[in-house]
Structure 1
Amino acid sequence: MSENTKSVCEEKVYEQLYRDHAEKIYFYLYYKFGDSEKARDIVQDSFAKLWINCSKIVIKAAKSFLYKVANNSSINELRQQKSFLKYQNTNQKTITNESPEYQMEEKEFMERLNIAIGNLKSRQREVFLMSRMEKKTYKEIAEISGITVKAVEKRMQLALLNLRKSIPNL
């Protein structure tokens, strides 16, 4: 069966769409507003809306539909409540050759960096984290965010400028 004759309403096709896109949409949403539970909820809602509208959506448009629904839901969430990205402390090496002073400076720097990233405007933070954490290209970020590559470049430029202002010698 070719892709043109398959339907999003077919359980196997729907499950494959979930496997292909759920985690990526989750990270997109998590970077957007920093709340893991909300990101999971919006992913589930997005896929529920895909299932409800499956007869109206062709397979090639399913990814765009999911990102559009997720993005619109996240915008609504952001309007209701501004939240900052929450970083979990990750345990680094327990045995290290670095001096205690170096380790303390590194920890302080990471704290300042996390605060600076959290203080970025949500659009700048979203682009910055997708680029730096997920290693997405500007073209991919533009597609996911529904903006132009030029807009991605501008947001990244502003994010970097704001981070440099917040943290001297970055």
Structure 2
Amino acid sequence: MDYDEDQGRRSIAEGDPLPPDEWNGFAAGTRVEAIYTAHGPELARYFRRRAPAQDVSDLVQECFRRFTQSRGAAASLIDRPAAYLVQTARNLLAERARADGRRMQADHGSFDEDDHAGPDPHAALEARDTIRRLADVVARLKPKTRTIFLMHRLDGLSYEEIAAAQGMSVKGVEKQMAKALGAIRRSRRDGR
């Protein structure tokens, strides 16, 4: 480096190494601190009027994080940092409002009177009465027919499995099931 006596500073000689292009020197951090000191309280007041008190410091911190990480931060540091920070604050609040809206939509449940009124007592009584009538019909079936019907409907066995367990043909199981279903149909038709 050469020393310029007229102005009292050093100039860079042709062979001197140059700092990288993104290097701002030691003053960049100092400038950000100065901008934080100058504009941090303003941003906090801005957020206090528009956001919950517990979120104010996080929002201010997020504004400055975006400010220091933006591509144009070097120009903003010099030109108009207050305008950049206020616009960032507006954007943050808009993003929060959109996120809150999405969250509220996801949590929203529609109001159906049936859901809130509870089950229909008349329907419950009818269902109970139907079950009682069907139990009576099944109880009146012949023992072999009743056993085959219950093996198929309650135990979920196939006709082949029932035939093997009862020692009869599949055709015989089908006939017994037809008898049971016929008796159930008749009782429902007759209302007994």
Which range, TM-score by smaller chain? 0.3 to 0.5
TM-score (normalised: structure 1): 0.42
Q: Which has the larger radius of gyration?
A: 2
TM-score (normalised: structure 2): 0.37
Relative CO higher for 1 or 2, CA cutoff 8 Å, sep ≥ 6? 1
